[in-house]
Chain A
């Protein structure tokens, strides 16, 4: 017997309305973000000033309270903290050579949370996001569709996607579309 499936037509401008219960794609609160570049021998001084031991292993992060440091490269970290935090002021006191650039307004954070969050991100991200390969706390710069993102797993079913602000419309619409596809 032939089963007739009627596809529901969706207006392209409906991207902002996600009618899925199992997983949510929401905007993260405004945050302070700092791109930190430094050599190995300065890490202990920077860690002390930040109150976080800067992670040295690839694809890892460290957090203390609301402040988190994500390993992006062998000499590069992304620091994320609340909007009114004093990350730059803390780093200004450090005497060792380093580069700390405030990129708070360059990035936009999107939270993907709920059942199947990994599948939602995997809709455009080619990395292995199983808990074994990408455990809670793992963070990495990678791609989502045709843009570059920083992906941070904050929980078993929760991710923070950081993208550049001019790409944020694309990333938000992409993740919502992906969420519709994997909705349970």
Chain B
């Protein structure tokens, strides 16, 4: 089971207490009436879904109930950091320090990625 740190409870809790809440840092246009239909569709429906690091919202729904943001690697499922809702995006290059990079194998070395290439 994954252990996820909640920035409000200030400790790691089992993943069963959490729920993913999609991509983080989506900003609603203001005034939204001046936004084109395409831009609005992008805001409403289209998500990045990158392979690798992604910024996500999570909710500690069976705990303190709070929403917070996290940086997670969608390949290794490793959480790089968590931060409270409303706080700015953390600097990813700082998170990927040499120590952190060692624990995270490069994507190309993973067996699943090799199979795809064959």
Question: Chain A interface (Cβ within 8 Å of chain B)?
Answer: 58-59, 72-74, 76, 126-127, 140-143, 148
Known: A58-B8, A58-B10, A59-B9. A73 touches B65 (CB 8 A): yes
Q: Secondary structure at chain A's binding surface: helix, strand, loop or mixed?
A: strand
Give the residue name and chain of the B residue nearest to A72 (CB): B64
Give the residue name and chain of the A residue nearest to B12 (CB): A128
| Contact call A143/B16, Cβ cutoff below 8 A | yes
| Contact call A141/B14, Cβ cutoff below 8 A | no
Question: Chain B interface (Cβ within 8 Å of chain A)?
Answer: 1, 8-11, 13-14, 16-17, 62-66
How many angstroms between the C-alpha atoms of A126 and B3 in the bound complex? 10
Q: B9 contacts which chain A residues (CB < 8 A)?
A: 58-59, 140
How many angstroms between the C-alpha atoms of A118 and B42 in the bound complex? 49
Which of B11, B13, B14, B64 makes the CB contact (< 8 A) with A76?
B64
Known: A58-B11, A59-B9. A74 touches B62 (CB 8 A): no
| Contact call B1/A74, Cβ cutoff below 8 A | no
Nearest chain B CB to A173 CB, angstrom units: 20
| Contact call A126/B64, Cβ cutoff below 8 A | no
